Amino acid sequence: MRSLLFILTLAIGAAVGLGLTWFTTVKGYGPASIRSGAWEAWPKAGAEDADPYARAALARAGELPLELADGLAFVASTDDAGMPLDGRCDIRLTGSLPQARFWTLTVTDPRGRLIDNPAKRSGFTSPEVVWNRDGTLDLLLGPRARPGNWLPTGARERIVLTLRLYDTPVGLARRTSDAPAMPRLVTERCP
Amino acid sequence: MKRLIVPILAGLVLGGIVHLVGVLILPYLAEKDAYSRLSAIGDVNTVTPIDDPSSEGAVLPASDPAFVSAVCLYDLGDGPLKIRVPTTEDYTSISFYTRYGMPFYAINDRSAGRSVIELDLMNAKQKAALPENDEVTVADRLVVESPSDEGVVLIRGLVRERSAREAIKALVDAAGCDSPS
């Protein structure tokens, strides 16, 4: 009986410990994130003093973080209403972007791979897009080609957007309250 | 029932410890970390171009497809290295990471402010051995001190538009990472 209880202790320990470790490193890069609308970023993951959760998540994914002195990546997997981004729908991205020398926007599947499409386009860079007169951006994501700023989604069920700001002051002040205003994401029409 | 309480509590505490230890050692145990992915494509102390990300994935997950990248895995065991990167018309950046993925330095074309970024990469010991009253050292050389002997230099150039890709790739691939002559 004694040894049975001992084995139970070990089993609980292993299950809880490994489960927690898996759970905390499988999505995102630890607890130190900043949020703005549907977007989330981990400025500290790209710094020398990254927390152990960020380090573990990066090592596990096999990634090298974007260094904070280089830029900052914002990730969105839902729209502003909290609905998962669905590549079969028309999704509109509007608004102004934080100050940066360059930015890039990339569409991937949930595993971070690019989505093949006939237009051979998987993102935009800031010099490529057509801006509105007032300096804001209006961009449409969807399965069907559109005039203007259009990003194909390959009609995937789930897509993820990554907006990377380069040479930007954003994130250098390490407080959550400093999250910049990010563009809105609205799902417009679904088949 | 009562005799189960102690094993369950002890199990939870043990679980907490396992979790903390697991998170802390994961960077050192991860088999498919960035360094091993990169060492599968490139040799030490040479610049190797990294294939562009595709629908099959990327050499390094979550890398920006708008960039052309190259890597130099370094080992300072045989002495300091000289990193030379021609800047492109747009954004060019060089990022430094230790063997276990800790970022420790990054510079871009603007902060370097010249048409070829030249850096001297060395460890603390090699830096301390630099001649002290050498004025050239202070004014003209960018010295990067690596906290470890082994690490990764990631060289990246932004491709503004698709048509510019080949030209920027040529510049990035022309980067150097070798011992100073």
Q: For A129-183, what is each residue's pLDDT tens digit?
A: 999 999 899 999 999 888 889 999 988 999 999 999 999 888 766 555 567 889 9
**Tens-digit pLDDT profile for residues A47-66:** 888 899 999 999 999 999 99
**Dihedral sign computed on CA atoms, order A57, A62, A65, A66:** negative
Region A34-41 average pLDDT: 91
**pLDDT score, position B15:** 92
CA distance B16 to A107: 37
Per-residue pLDDT band for B136 (boundaries 50, 70, 90) equals: low
β pairing state of B142-146 and B116-123: parallel
Q: Assess contact for B26 and A28: CB atoms under 8 A.
A: no
pLDDT above 90: percentage of residues in chain A: 60
Domain boundaries, chain B: 1-30, 34-178
Nearest to A17 among B18, B54, B58 (CB): B18
Question: What part of B 47-86 touches A (C-beta under 8 Å)?
Answer: 53-58, 60-67
- Residue A44 Cα distances to A51, A138, A170, B102, angstroms: 8, 30, 12, 11
Identify the pLDDT of residue B178.
Answer: 87
The span from the CA of A4 to the CA of A9, in Å, is: 9
User: How distant is the Cα of A53 from the closest Cα of chain B, in angstroms?
Assistant: 6
Interchain proximity B65–A122, CB inside 8 Å: yes
Q: What domains can you pick out in chain A, each with its CATH number?
A: 2-189 (2.60.120.600)
Query: Which chain B residues have a beta carbon less than 8 Å from that of A102?
Result: 90-91, 158
Q: Are B67 and A73 a contacting pair, CB within 8 Å?
A: no
Element (H, E) at B21: helix B2-29
* Top CATH class, B34-178: mainly beta
Q: Which range, of A164-173, B4-13, B38-47, B121-130, averages the lowest pLDDT?
A: A164-173
Q: What is the pLDDT of residue B113?
A: 72
Which residues numbered 114-153 in B keep a CB inside 8 Å of some CB on A? 152
Mean pLDDT score of chain B = 88
pTM given for the model = 0.90
CB contact under 8 A, A127 and B23: no
Bridge-partner residues for B63, per DSSP?
Answer: none
**Chain A 5-44, CB below 8 Å of chain B: which residues?**
5-6, 8-21, 24-25
User: What pLDDT, on a 0 to 100 scale, did the predictor assign at position B57?
Assistant: 86
List CB contacts (< 8 A) between B99 and chain A: none
Mutate to test the interface with A, among B25, B55, B111 (most CBs of A within 10 A): B55
Which among A59, A102, A113 has the least Cβ separation from residue B26?
Answer: A59
The C-alpha of A177 sits at a distance from chain B's nearest C-alpha, in angstroms, of 25
Q: Which residues of chain A lie closer than 8 angstroms to B161, CB-CB?
A: 125, 127-128
Q: What is the DSSP letter of B25?
A: H
Q: Is A67 helix (H, G, I), strand (E, B) or coil?
A: coil
For residues B121-127, give the mean pLDDT.
89
Interface residue B160 vs chain A (CB under 8 A): yes
CA gap B148, B143 in Å, rounded: 15
Tell me what pLDDT residue A135 has.
86
